[in-house]
Structure 1
């Protein structure tokens, strides 16, 4: 019986698409035409697994040679960094650790980099430093966005007096404990529904199909680390504020968290894909990018935007539940992403404006007239700000005070007794929290704000009083 092979047969045993399939079928039908199909496929599988061993074989060598060439073509060579880095502006350079500046120096040498800036709260991270802003040409860097995609701030201002913070501390504390859920992996047993969970991306992108159930169970919850939900007092100082709230002091609710397990899974998956597609020198490997012309780049872009909308929905659920518990509707809401990438038009040095992918990893959007929130620590005020649209910062500002001590250093050098003394001195009630989030681990927010006076103007302040974090 004459041997019959098809491309489907060869693909089943791992042969790649392309010319090698037709070569293999031709060789086998010419020289092994009376061989049983199972035996022929066994021979072909051996060649596929170890093609170099068959290169000198008179009959099978052509198959092996094509496999070797195919393998070489599929392994991308390491992409070198540019010898010279692009110029960029550092805000508060004397107060930023060397590790963060070194990471930014590397990022500014990527072939896709067009412009960048380093914010005054910057500190070392993975890939792009926290506080790093990077504009790239038609490319998105998953670790330039960060693991907690769409991490954001959200502030609700209520027409309630600040006196509630001292007169009804127990009530407000109970509301935070009852209406919030914190911690890595934590899920609700009866989560609320949300339209973001019906988005078509959950059906269209294979990775997201497997994450939908977790997204359903975690919506409206907060993570660990520096994520918080806190009551405090908002002082509105600008009479011309966009949300039309009269100047004065109000009870307010501020939250900080991101896209939970959904965002982390997206970040980790696509970072691995990017590292395979665009291998970089070891010191830059976490800055691997995906071209927006590629299928993987488009999938990441869609998934990133979904994670950002999911993070927003989480905040909105938290604020809605707490507003309902207070029996009040907020007068105004201010919110903004960080850990995200945007398509924006910017002009490079001496160039016309062009569409760029602007990564803000731990940086606040600060385009002209754009409102945002820059928190301090649990004992320092946060600021409601309006962007000035500064071109040198790529329309960006800091996303907080920034760490002065690493998490490990804070745990090793501070005690709970010290933390409690500082909290008592500042009238702060803390629910949960850890030594790594102690107020002393953070930079002076007033100094950080001075460094970015040209980037934002202050509309108001928020002073924390009752702080809820992961236990």
Structure 2
């Protein structure tokens, strides 16, 4: 192990007093850098000091490089706002529209659309779709990378729910875990190939994330994430599911990439902000060029997080199908909070960010949930160009979590759920059905974007807490 460098060693190299010295010394404590010899560490730091611009997108040294450069004399200027499509404008608050208009002023923006479930978020509004030129925006993807909906349809009638409420309730409690503390223990975990992915070793930032990913595999997040039993009503006889028109028992889950995705989002957003200085109103829209090392690493890490989120859903459905003793007739899965390389009608290749928006390409199947007391919809995308082949990802919030806690009482929410015959395990007033928009109004605003194949009506809902 190399002799530990100290602040005076860096000062003798020419490092200025201030933040850069502390950042450099902290980086040298990383395991793979501590293996370098004393001479190799000094040579690396000399090169960094002489050429900080070359390190602005380097995974290890971007923050130190930025600290070595003088403060930017000006921000990257925003451009004239480009036009974008707006669906269900009457249901969207002005703060979400303002955020979308800011995103449409980015120099890298090519096109955009705002879905009827849209509401305020960080950077891009939730429900925002943004196409960019060779650039990826971590906060336009979102913190919960690859958040997904997954539906299993079983060959059991709806009366199965009425007759076996307590048994199905117990299945949810025994076979699901929520939040950071309630995870599957040793001996309960299922293995998955995603944990063997090379990215965990090849991307420096991810080397210490494997343990957390392995701990949380097969579990769900908190907040609005859920696993629920309900009634699937197949309406379209031409559906691609191969399921006849009728009613069936269904299992629906909503969750994302857990701590892995959040860590990736926050880390690469900081890197993006270091190299992409935007005005304050646009700072959360900082981007990484896909030609940069950091951009390529984020892209690989994002795809890993998306696959990890899918693996979590597969394990949830695998556990519950086994407990039920049934194999599903059909499955539908889709995700949001992600970025895709796609081509516009003009033929231009772009990066399409869907933050809280469902992919709705021609023939693409998906699920758009409502609330605990309102149906969700099984849909087929129509590939509408003006929406960038997208649709809403749900009903969308009508109240913020803070406002819901202030205005809704727990007893009133429980009474409301009882009136709608909903069995709820866990959850809080911030996720009350009353805090969400009318899903029927949202769906009416996007009838040109998707065709409805069927519905899913919740009956037994499991969320964080409650046991």
Cα distance change of structure 1 residues 84 and 166 upon mapping to structure 2, 3 Å threshold = same
Report Cα offsets for 1:342-383 as digits up to 9, x if no partner. 000013xxxx31110000000000000000000000000000
Partner SS, residue 437 of structure 2:
coil
Secondary structure of 2:313's counterpart equals: helix
Contact 1:76 1:278 in 2 (8 A): no
Residue 187 (structure 1) aligns with: 183
Contact 1:229 1:468 in 2 (8 A): yes
Does structure 2 conserve the Cα–Cα contact (< 8 Å) formed by 1:374 and 1:398?
yes
Structure 1 contact 366–389 (Cα < 8 Å) conserved: yes
**CA separation of 1:205 and 1:160: change in aligned 2, threshold 3 A:** same
Equivalent residue for 1:411, pick from 398, 402, 405: 405
In the alignment, what sits opposite 2:287? Answer: 289
Contact between 2:257 and 2:305, CA under 8 Å: does it hold in 1?
yes
Scaled by the length of structure 2, the TM-score of the pair is 0.86
- SS of the residue 2:417 aligns to: helix
Conserved in 1, the CA contact under 8 Å of 2:76 and 2:276?
no
Would you say 1:84 and 2:51 are equivalent positions? no
Q: 1:364 to 1:128 in 2, by over 3 A?
A: same
Question: Please, what TM-score do these two structures have when normalized by structure 1?
Answer: 0.86
What is the aligned length?
Answer: 420
Please list every run of 5 or more consecutive structure 1 residues that lacks an aligned counterpart in the other structure: 1-7, 15-37, 52-62
| CA distance 1:340–1:69, change in 2 (3 Å) | closer
Give the match for residue 206 of structure 1.
204
Tell me the secondary structure at the aligned position of residue 127 of structure 1: coil
Distance 1:43 1:160, change over 3 A: closer
Kindly provide the CA deviation profile for residues 186-236 of structure 1, in whole angstroms up to 9, marking residues without a partner as x: 432222110010110011001111100010010000010000000000000
Taking a change above 3 Å as real, the CA distance of residues 411 and 436 of structure 1, as seen in their structure-2 partners, is: same
Deviations along 1:107-128, one digit per CA (max 9) or x if unpaired, are 0000100000000000000000
Q: Give the aligned partner of residue 146 of structure 2.
A: 150
Question: Distance in 1 between the 2:10 and 2:339 partners?
Answer: 49
Deviation at 1:12, TM superposition (A): 6.1
- Report the RMSD for the aligned CA atoms in angstroms: 2.2
2:432 is matched with which residue? 438
Partner of 1:251: 249
Q: Determine if contact 1:114/1:136 at 8 Å carries over to the other structure.
A: yes
Alignment of 1:265-280 (within 5 A): 265-280=263-278
Instruction: Assess if the C-alpha contact under 8 Å between 2:156 and 2:248 holds in 1.
Output: yes
CA shift for structure 1 position 95: 1.3
Match of 2:12 in 1: 44
1:42 and 1:338 map into 2 onto residues whose CA distance is: 45
The corresponding residue for 1:115 is 111
Task: Deviation per CA, 1:302-331: give whole Å up to 9, x if none.
Answer: 000000000000000000000000000000
Displacement, 1:183?
1.2
**Secondary structure of 2:215's match?**
helix
CA distance in structure 2 between the aligned counterparts of 1:68 and 1:254, rounded to whole angstroms:
52
Confirm whether residue 397 of structure 1 aligns to residue 371 of structure 2: no
Residue pair 1:182, 1:223 contacting (<8 A) in 2 also: yes
Give, in whole Å, the separation in 2 of the partners of 1:460 and 1:197. 35
Q: Distance in 2 between matches of 1:296 and 1:67?
A: 21
- SS state of the match for residue 119, structure 1? strand
Quote the Cα distance in structure 2 between the aligned partners of 1:418 and 1:271. Answer: 40
Q: Structure 2: how far apart are the matches of 1:326 and 1:224?
A: 25
The worse-fitting range, judged by mean Cα deviation, of 189-198 and 403-412 is: 189-198
Tell me the equivalent position of 1:426: 420
Q: Check the 8 A contact 1:146/1:267 in 2, yes or no.
A: yes
**Displacement of 1:75 after TM fit?**
5.3
Q: 2:446 corresponds to which residue?
A: 452
